[in-house]
Chain A
Amino acid sequence: MHRTMFPIGPQHPSLKEPIFLKLYVEGTVIEKAEFDLGYAHRGVEEKMENKEIDTTLHAVQRTCGICSQCHSLAFLNAVEPMGQIRIPKRVALQRMVIAELERIHSHMLWSGVMMHEMGLETLFMYYMREREKILDVFDELTGNRVHHSADLIGTMKMNFSEEDIEMISKTFDSMKDKLEDYRRSVEGHDVIRDRCIGKGKITRADAVKYGLVGPVARASGISYDVRVNAPYLGYQFVKVNPVVRTEGDVHARTLVRLDETFESMRIVEEACSKIPKSKVPKYPVKRIFHGQGAGRVEAPRGENFHFVKIDMAKTKRVKIRTPTVANLVMYPKVLQGADITDAPVIVMSMDPCISCMERVAVIKKGKTEVWSSHELFRGKKHD
C-alpha cells in the first residue's frame, strides 16, 4: 500500500504552536511520526548575558506568556542561595499564591483549548469565561494580567492587603460550583469519553524511560511533583497532595489537570490564611557578586529548570529548560499506531508550549551553529 506523509503544522488550525508534525499514514492509521522544530527563533538566553541580575529577573519572565511566574521563581531559586538570602514567610507565601493562581489559569486555558479540539465550543467558552476572573485577580494583585513582574531579589514589590485576600476567596466562591459542574460533564460526557478513553496511552514504564514530567507523568501513575519531592518557597508550610491517576490515556491527563485546579485553589486559600502581618523587606536586600547554581520549580506543565552563573554582579549565563522539552520526545512513540483523527487530541493532551521551548539554533548542512541576537537581526553570520 502507498505510504503517505500527512503534515500538521507549522501553521495549522488545530495546533496553536509552531511545530511541524510529519505523520506517515497507511489508510488512516499512523505508522510513523516525526516532528521538526525551529520555526520560532528566540534570543532569550543570549539577551540575558552580561546584564544586571534584576534586569535578568524581569527579562526571564518573558520566556512564557502563560507561566511567567514559574520562570521568575526558578531563577530566584537559583540566585537567592548564592547570596545566602533567606526570604521571609510573607514573601514566600505571596510568591506561592501567584504561582498557584497561575497554575489554575494555565490549566483552565488548556481545558478550554482541549474542549475546542474535541469540538465542544460551549465548554471552551465556559472555561475561558471563568479564567478571565483569575486574570482580573492578577490585575488587582500585581498590576499586570499576564507578565506580573512582582518579584525582586529577596523581596516583592507589593504587600497583599486584607481586601486582596478577601477578593481571592470571593472569586473562588463564584467559580468553584461552575468548575465542579464542568468537571462532572467532562467525566460523563459521551463524546469526550469516546474521544479520550484509551487514546494516546502512555504506560508507566514508558513514562519512566522517556523521563516525562508534570501532569503527563502523573496521569501515567508516577507520583513526581517538585512541590512535594523538593519543597521550595512556602510549600514547607502548606501540604500539597499530588493528583495521580494510573490510566495514562488522554482522559486521565484531562482529569489530572482538572483535579489539580481544585487542589491549587485549596493551596491558595490555605496560603492566604497563613500570610503574617509583617511587611515585605525593602529593596535592595543584598547584592550578589559571584556564584553559580540551579533552581527548579513545578510549572503548570511540569518541572522547570534554570541554570544561572553570576560573575562581577552580572549574569554571565542563564540556561532555561522548560517542561515541554521533556514531554516532547514522547510524540513519535505515542502517535504511532493511533488513528489520524485522534492526532490533534493526543498532541494537545501533552500541553505543548513550543514557543517557550525554542532556543536559537541555526542548522546548516548538518552542522549546528549558534547565532547571537545581533547576527540574527542582521540576518547573516559574522566571519
Chain B
Amino acid sequence: MGMTITVIKNMLKKPATIKYPKKKSDISKNYRGRIVVDREKCIGCYLCQIHCPTGAIVVDPKDKKAYVDIGRCIFCSLCAEVCPVKCIHFTNEYEKVSKDKEKLKRQ
C-alpha cells in the first residue's frame, strides 16, 4: 500500500528540476555573478591585485585602472571587501560563457 501512495504522489507532483533555458531559477540576494569594476571611481591602489587568490584582477600600469579576467575569477569577493573606494561589485548575471577566451579577459 505504501508503495502505491508513493507512486501516485510522484505522478501528481511537479518535477524537482527546472527546464533551464526556458525557465530561469530565482537568484538569491547575496548572489555573486559577473564582477564589474567601476573605472570612474577606481584609484589604482593595487590592493585588489595583491589580494586576488588567482591573479584574475590586474591593475593596468598605463591608465592605473583595474581589469578582470573572468576566466580566472573564483568569485570569492575578497577584492570587493578590500577596495577602499568600493568600486568593485557583483551583478546577478550568471551566463558568462564565451567561445572565445580573449573576450573574457580585460572586462
Q: Are A132 and B16 in contact (CB under 8 A)?
A: yes
Q: Are A140 and B29 in contact (CB under 8 A)?
A: yes
Cβ–Cβ < 8 Å partners of B32 in chain A: 143-144
CA distance A129 to B14 in the complex (A): 13
B78 CB–A CB distance under 8 Å: yes
Given A58-B53, A58-B76, A149-B76, A283 and B30 touching (CB < 8 A)?
Answer: no
Q: Are A158 and B30 in contact (CB under 8 A)?
A: yes
A311 CB–B CB distance under 8 Å: no
Cβ–Cβ < 8 Å partners of B52 in chain A: 55
Kindly provide the distance from the CB of B20 to the nearest chain A CB, expressed in whole angstroms: 14
Q: Is the interface of B mostly helix, strand, loop or mixed?
A: loop
Cβ–Cβ < 8 Å partners of B11 in chain A: none
Cβ–Cβ < 8 Å partners of B76 in chain A: 58, 147, 149
Cβ–Cβ < 8 Å partners of B97 in chain A: none
Q: Are B77 and A157 in contact (CB under 8 A)?
A: yes
Q: Is the interface of A mostly helix, strand, loop or mixed?
A: helix
Out of A62, A132, A143, name the residue touching B31 (CB < 8 Å).
A143
CA distance A158 to B77 in the complex (A): 12
Kindly provide the distance from the CB of A146 to the nearest chain B CB, expressed in whole angstroms: 11
A 178-194 binary contact with B (CB < 8 Å = 1; else 0)? 00000000000000000
Cβ–Cβ < 8 Å partners of B29 in chain A: 140
Q: Are B81 and A283 in contact (CB under 8 A)?
A: yes
Out of B28, B74, B81, B82, name the residue touching A143 (CB < 8 Å).
B28
Q: Closest B-chain residue to A58, C-beta based?
A: B76
A51 CB–B CB distance under 8 Å: yes
Cβ–Cβ < 8 Å partners of B16 in chain A: 129, 132
Given A51-B53, A62-B74, A157 and B31 touching (CB < 8 A)?
Answer: no
B51 CB–A CB distance under 8 Å: yes
Out of A52, A55, A139, A157, name the residue touching B28 (CB < 8 Å).
A139
Given A141-B30, A142-B30, A143-B28, A157 and B53 touching (CB < 8 A)?
Answer: no
Most chain A C-beta atoms within 10 Å of own C-beta, residue among B28, B50, B74, B77: B28
Q: Closest A-chain residue to B90, C-beta based?
A: A143
Q: Are B28 and A147 in contact (CB under 8 A)?
A: no
Q: Closest B-chain residue to A139, C-beta based?
A: B28
CA distance A114 to B76 in the complex (A): 32
Cβ–Cβ < 8 Å partners of A51 in chain B: 53
Cβ–Cβ < 8 Å partners of B31 in chain A: 139, 143
Within 8 A of A (CB), among B1-51: 16, 28-32, 50-51
A 27-67 binary contact with B (CB < 8 Å = 1; else 0)? 00000000000000000000000011011101100100000
A85 CB–B CB distance under 8 Å: no
A152 CB–B CB distance under 8 Å: yes
Cβ–Cβ < 8 Å partners of A56 in chain B: 53
B 71-101 binary contact with A (CB < 8 Å = 1; else 0)? 0001111100110000000100000000000
Cβ–Cβ < 8 Å partners of B74 in chain A: 58, 62, 147
Cβ–Cβ < 8 Å partners of B51 in chain A: 52, 54-55
CA distance A147 to B77 in the complex (A): 12
Out of A55, A59, A144, name the residue touching B75 (CB < 8 Å).
A144
CA distance A54 to B80 in the complex (A): 13
Cβ–Cβ < 8 Å partners of B77 in chain A: 143, 149, 157
CA distance A56 to B54 in the complex (A): 11
CA distance A58 to B81 in the complex (A): 12
Cβ–Cβ < 8 Å partners of A152 in chain B: 81
A 120-139 binary contact with B (CB < 8 Å = 1; else 0)? 00000000010010000001
Cβ–Cβ < 8 Å partners of B30 in chain A: 139-143, 158
Cβ–Cβ < 8 Å partners of B75 in chain A: 144, 149
Cβ–Cβ < 8 Å partners of A141 in chain B: 30
Q: Are A58 and B28 in contact (CB under 8 A)?
A: no
Given A54-B51, A58-B76, A62-B74, A140 and B81 touching (CB < 8 A)?
Answer: no
Q: Closest B-chain residue to A141, C-beta based?
A: B30
CA distance A59 to B74 in the complex (A): 10
5 of the cross-chain contacts (CB-CB < 8 Å) are A55-B52, A59-B53, A142-B30, A157-B77, A157-B81
Which 9 pairs of residues, A with B, have the shortest CB-CB distance? A143-B30, A149-B76, A58-B76, A59-B53, A140-B28, A139-B28, A143-B32, A55-B53, A58-B53
